[in-house]
Amino acid sequence: MERVWDVVIVGAGPAGLTAAIYARRAGLDTLVLERALPGGQILETPLIENFPGFPEPISGAELAERMQTQAERLGAQFVLGEARSLSSPQGSWLVDTSMGPVVGRTVVLCTGAHYKELEVPGAREFAGRGISYCAVCDGYFYKGKDVVVVGGGNSALTEALFLSKIARRVYLVVRHPQEDPKALRAAATLKEKVLADPHVEVVWNAVVHEVRGDQAVRGVLLQDLGTGELRDLPVEGIFVKIGYKPNTDWLRGIVDLTDKGYVVTDGMMRTSQPGVFAAGDLRDPEVRRAQAVVAAAEGALAALAADEYNKGLKS
């Protein structure tokens, strides 16, 4: 593409979509590059109850669609493609993508993060055959069956509540003892709902030791972290929510990253490279929280910073 955009936004989760809205309201020529469906991780959330302006719960998919529609109404253009590298050969920033090169005076990185895989015997072999990382995507295959959810954060508890309306029984495997006040690292409302749900049984102080099955998952071997005792639990589905890794491998050597691969920014989302900004779940979780409203706020800040940078170029 020979066109030079004022801002190229890489990724269309809540951060990227909000950045597009703010960039267009600032009058910036805006391109959004997304490798899949706009929405990012909120597409996996059946109901969002804490996004301002929505007194009634809204699905992640509907919220993403509304945000994209708003950005497009304002004039942002969307392109389907995956970013592969970032360079600055002639002052502007060149994003090499699966659809060809894209050039922007500024770039806002919003590529988010992907789920961590369960690394125990049998987990990789049964991926797609009983091991899942998205209850919204695969939950209905387990209607009336017993399933396990692994994890103790917001995502894991949200998955457990979603599956409790589909599966016969949901076992929530948490690696901390019940008396640990931080055992469930989730919002208070989610904790209350999970602990009160008759279809959810919390297995405290335990981890998955092994996944078992034949052509598909037939059970999971759990290990009690206190006693070391192993428990064979017959289930047909295992849903994993044990954290995320940032989608930043393509940025190594370009912008400063933490030891865990998260992009380092200042308070206005500026990275170590002039004209390059970052927002959302690819930023260091030590200085933020993984919430849609936080990502949206960061996207707004990044767009405002990109606008300020563009004005400096034109002055």
Catalytic residue among 96, 134, 197, 284: 134
Q: Are 144 and 168 in contact (CB under 8 A)?
A: yes
- Strands 30-34 and 4-10 turn out to be parallel
Residue 239's closest CA among 258, 220, 252?
220
Has 110 been annotated as catalytic?
Answer: no
Name 250's Cβ contacts closer than 8 Å, sequence gap at least 6. 83, 84, 85, 86
Is 137 an active-site residue? yes
Active site residue 256: no
Residue among 6, 96, 138, 197 flagged as catalytic: 138
Active-site position among 6, 110, 137, 266: 137
How far apart, in whole angstroms, are the C-alpha atoms of residue 265 and residue 283?
Answer: 7
Active site residues: 134, 137-138
